[in-house]
Structure 1
Amino acid sequence: MTTTNENAAVYFVDRHADEDYSDKAAFIESETGVKISYADLSHETGRVADLYERHGIRREERVAMLVLDCIAFPVIFWGSLKAGVVPVPLNTLLGSDVYETILKDSRARALFVSAQLLPVIEPVLANCPCLERIFVIGGAEEGDHLSFRKELAASSFREPIDVSSDECAFWLYSSGSTGQPKGVRHVHGNLKFTADTYGAQVLGIAHDDIVYSVAKLFFAYGLGNAMTFPMSVGATTVLLDARPTPDSVCKVLDTYKPTVFCGVPTLYAALLAHIDSGQGSISAPLRRCISAGEALPEKVGSRWRELTGCDILDGVGSTEMLHIFLSNRPGDVVYGTSGVAVPGYDIRVVDENGADVGTGGIGELLVKGASSASDYWNQRDKSRSTFEGAWTRTGDKYEVTESGRLVYCGRTDDMFKVSGIWVAPFEIEQALVSHPAVLEAAVVAARDEEGLEKPKAFVVLKNGFTGDHLPEELKEIVKEHIGKWKYPRWVEVVPDLPKTATGKIQRFKLRDDYHA
């Protein structure tokens, strides 16, 4: 009986090595201009499989990846899948203690680390008994660790192993917006499912696209944007290993002229402020822009369309579902909403008793689709409360509109009642950022002198603005736009807001660290 190898690396990498554009660039490093073709990527990933064999790292064992966005990332990731070894990409912005927790939790036998990040993680390596090999990418290639470049050069090419689409392919640790990161396990088939649904039917990715994703490769949104979707059609991705600032992003857009740009609301707002102040411009021939991580304010989407002529397709995804499952679509964009279900996914909005809420109701969003994670590693209770059969609880609160579109209201833990009525922080935040002085805003519940919960706002101002008389102006804007009982009783101007690496505002830190 003939069987088909369902190894995701065969579909995303090797398939293109035999096609007409095998010599086409799969990835370009924006800082160095270094490229790798699909044919060379196929060869290099085959050598990674041999590297594992040489070092005794076996199928189903984990390897951690603390790797910046560079060509080494896809080489290691897809090479691991070819060998049946499970790569675990790590957030490159964490502290040493969190890395130690993750390395111990995953029991990774090897670590691939960019030389720039080695000083952060090196102090805790001795505390991780399962870790046996450290491969350093770039740098002087000196010291006690192995050089990834030299080890790869000493390796031979190996064919990918046969796997089932249901075999564990990789782990992603959740962003930890409400606590310690959790190991989210995904199978080979999940990658192609997201490409066949969102990538093909919403994003409309094409082989002649050039893609640039502000979101980094180490988390689910960036992994789909910069690897899965472009590689599904043989497109080209531009990688930036540095922190995305308005200056660095504008430079990539103007130098490499991407047609697809993947951002987050915080970055879109910062880019607009940067450009509107005369500090930059965008000349890239953008045909598709997308956003996720946090709900996109209507003002930001409308201004971006005015500036570039391209709408932003705001959507919702999660590490647990691997990518976006609810989204606006080309030609069907309503700013201020998260759109409708991506083809291939089913959604429900339910109350605390599990019953579907009607039009105008607010409830928790549940999603069903074949990209759902298997579970959380070694967290059975949390797995059972999140993955309920075919359905996954997102922890997000949504309102159902008459048109069937969904409006984001906030995380389940962020919602609170004022005068017995549910208040959605995002609704107040949208009103606050409509003020010309406000760049970003976050709203949390705080208790007044009588012990009752009321909204409290934290705002970040645009350059050149001061907070004089601003609190009262912002209170009046909220009263006028969305309701008198929803206005923030306190408004505090802050230099920045606490966020995860994905751009999500960590409101729990505002609740914990600030008090009315």
Structure 2
Amino acid sequence: MDDTNAGNAEESRQTATAPWQSHPEIAAEVENLKETYSSAALSVADVLCDAHPADDTAFICVDDRFEPQRLTYGELSDRSRRLARHLQELGVGRESRVGVLMEKTVQLPIVLVALWRLGAIEVPLFTAFAGPAIAVRVNGAEASLIVADVDQQVKLDGIDIPVLSTGDELDRAIDAHEPIDTAEAVGGDGLFLQLYTSGTSGSPKAVGVPGRAIGAFIAYMRYGLDVTDKDVFWNAADPGWAYGLYYGIVGPLAVGKPNILFAGRFSPEATGRLFKELAVTNVAAAPTVYRALKKDGVRANPSLRVASSAGEPLTSDVVDWAPDALGVTVRDHWGQTEQGMAICNPWDERLISDAAPNSMGQALPGFVAGTVGNAIALSVTDSPLMWFTGYVGDPEKTKERFTEDGDWYFTGDVGRCDGTNFFFASRDDDVILAAGYRISPFDIESILVTDDAIVEAAVVGRPDEIRGEVIEAFVVVDREESAEELVNRLQQAVRETYGAHAYPRRVHVVDELPKTPSGKVQRFVLRDMEL
């Protein structure tokens, strides 16, 4: 969810009703979150770690041998204080950018809290990145240090930034230092994270996350995911990306509810085993995870009560599969690096309702959403928990994301609202214009994946002299069958379900779809393919 040209448009504006505003107690809670995390005295390390009882569990860390280790807040506090002393000696201080290239081990939260104690800013680096992608981020951020797992450091060749190794070497360094007794106050406006957008439609841009964003993260944990004291919570997303970092690290720490950090490789079998052995009750993951579970026939344990999806639109095949296989429906949630989650089908009992088919949901408490023309937008003036004000060091790209009067923020997604519900159509630059019709790739993809042979599908527009554009589909299949029969079947399904004007003129069977490391389909790569 990156670039958009929507900011150049002057179009009609429609504000959708935000159901949370009709609940006085929720409105009061939102206002309290805004005030608390906007304070000039805010210390990130204090609110995320030190304020919690020392004996409470901060994270349940599981290695590839499936041996869980509980990290308490007391241990997190002590070891992060010791590591902060060591980082000070390495020159890390307030506003220092530090790249973190680590798997989801017990050391990860210790490193992050240590950085925040010093008022430093983490630059997350996804461990699936190749060297050039890492270089773009750490050089762009002018990082002064990279904390990296030993087996990741081969990717850092040619990057002229000091490296601190994790593992046994880091443990020895922590043990050798006395703990510091301070936690830098960065305030609500001070940054503690600097992420880069995922690059679905252009080069990544720097998003600085201020302390006040913690209030918005809590809102999603509370109202969107409904994480309670009784839950065994697992956000399976990688903290190298926004959803895993905001709601797998920061959000759980902020509400004092432990998340599971699984350091092993993802597989449907491993996921099913974790469901069972840890008795997971509340899970959040990308649609690709649910599709993999569906394909492999994984069933959850009876304890699961909440299942949420984010990152890409949730297609109907997963929605139809989940109640029987998981014992609960999967509810779709929408957000982006620039703002975190802002529209969702909430699990909070005060807001929960039957999810409209294919709906992104309603505005999350703290946000008011609407449309400007055909673009989904967030109201700047009416969203008390909105925290994004612009890209770091890029005023031109920042300008594109807001209306000229500054009242609305363009999300970069095209869609519509119906009452309180929002419906995703496509990225702004993914809309297909065929013979005068505006066609959403998502609508066509949702039809294609209902075919039993299709694992994943992506649709793009190709230039055509007569129609302007024609629809072209790329599909991943899980069985051998006649290509001609498959193509005819898919084309007919679109004709019958959507319309004769929207069927894919060409269908390509591919081994995999091009994606960002966070799992988002890069349709611009498909459009540029020479076939």
Report Cα offsets for 1:337-381 as digits up to 9, x if no partner. 101111110112112xxxxxxxxxx43434544343343222221
Do residues 309 (structure 1) and 288 (structure 2) align?
Answer: no
Cα RMSD after superposing both structures: 2.0
Q: Which whole-Å CA distance do the structure 2 matches of 1:24 and 1:242 have between them? A: 21
Do residues 241 (structure 1) and 263 (structure 2) align?
Answer: yes
Deviation at 1:431, TM superposition (A): 0.7
Unaligned runs of 5+ in 2: 1-38
Aligned counterparts, 1:443-462, within 5 A:
443-448=459-464, 450=466, 452-462=468-478
Unaligned runs of 5+ in 1: 142-146, 352-361
Report Cα offsets for 1:176-205 as digits up to 9, x if no partner. 12222211101111023220x221122111
Q: Which whole-Å CA distance do the structure 2 matches of 1:442 and 1:514 have between them? A: 16
Determine which of 362, 375, 398 is the counterpart of 1:383.
398
Stretch moving more, 403-412 or 233-242:
233-242
- Letter paired with 1:269: R
- Letter paired with 1:61: S
Do residues 290 (structure 1) and 290 (structure 2) align?
Answer: no
Q: For residue 17 of structure 2, what is the aligned residue in structure 1?
A: none
Note if contact 2:433-2:468 (Cα within 8 Å) is conserved in structure 1: no
Deviation at 1:23, TM superposition (A): 4.0
Stretch moving more, 478-487 or 246-255:
246-255
Q: For residue 395 of structure 1, what is the aligned residue in structure 2?
A: 412
Report Cα offsets for 1:272-302 as digits up to 9, x if no partner. 1111xxxx43226211111111100022112
Note if contact 2:375-2:414 (Cα within 8 Å) is conserved in structure 1: yes
Q: For residue 15 of structure 2, what is the aligned residue in structure 1?
A: none
Q: For residue 11 of structure 2, what is the aligned residue in structure 1?
A: none
Note if contact 1:66-1:91 (Cα within 8 Å) is conserved in structure 2: yes
Q: Which whole-Å CA distance do the structure 2 matches of 1:264 and 1:205 have between them? A: 18
Moved over 4 A (4+): 463-466
Do residues 29 (structure 1) and 62 (structure 2) align?
Answer: yes
Report Cα offsets for 1:280-329 as digits up to 9, x if no partner. 432262111111111000221121122222121201100000x2110112
Query: What SS class does the counterpart of residue 515 from structure 2 fall into?
Result: coil
Q: Which whole-Å CA distance do the structure 1 matches of 2:364 and 2:521 have between them? A: 25
Note if contact 2:475-2:508 (Cα within 8 Å) is conserved in structure 1: yes
Q: For residue 175 of structure 2, what is the aligned residue in structure 1?
A: 153
- Letter paired with 2:375: G
Note if contact 1:326-1:342 (Cα within 8 Å) is conserved in structure 2: yes
Report Cα offsets for 1:404-452 as digits up to 9, x if no partner. 3111101001002112111000000001111111111100001346473
Deviation at 1:232, TM superposition (A): 2.9
Do residues 91 (structure 1) and 126 (structure 2) align?
Answer: yes
Report Cα offsets for 1:226-264 as digits up to 9, x if no partner. 223322332222112233221222222222221111111
Deviation at 1:24, TM superposition (A): 3.0
- Letter paired with 2:393: N
TM-score normalized with structure 2 length = 0.86
TM-score normalized with structure 1 length = 0.88
Q: Which whole-Å CA distance do the structure 2 matches of 1:514 and 1:466 have between them? A: 24
Q: Which whole-Å CA distance do the structure 2 matches of 1:498 and 1:161 have between them? A: 42
Query: What SS class does the counterpart of residue 342 from structure 2 fall into?
Result: strand
Deviation at 1:136, TM superposition (A): 1.1
Q: For residue 245 of structure 2, what is the aligned residue in structure 1?
A: 223
Query: What SS class does the counterpart of residue 104 from structure 2 fall into?
Result: coil
Note if contact 1:367-1:394 (Cα within 8 Å) is conserved in structure 2: no
Q: For residue 343 of structure 2, what is the aligned residue in structure 1?
A: 326
Do residues 48 (structure 1) and 60 (structure 2) align?
Answer: no
Note if contact 2:126-2:239 (Cα within 8 Å) is conserved in structure 1: no
Q: Which whole-Å CA distance do the structure 2 matches of 1:419 and 1:235 have between them? A: 52
- Letter paired with 2:264: A
Do residues 58 (structure 1) and 78 (structure 2) align?
Answer: no
Aligned counterparts, 1:265-280, within 5 A:
265-275=287-297, 280=298
Structure 1 234/473 Cα, relative in aligned 2: closer, same or farther at 3 Å?
same
Q: Which whole-Å CA distance do the structure 2 matches of 1:239 and 1:92 have between them? A: 15
Determine which of 163, 185, 189 is the counterpart of 1:134.
163
Query: What SS class does the counterpart of residue 339 from structure 1 fall into?
Result: strand
Higher RCO (CA < 8 A, seq sep 6+): 2
Q: How many residue pairs align between the two structures?
A: 480
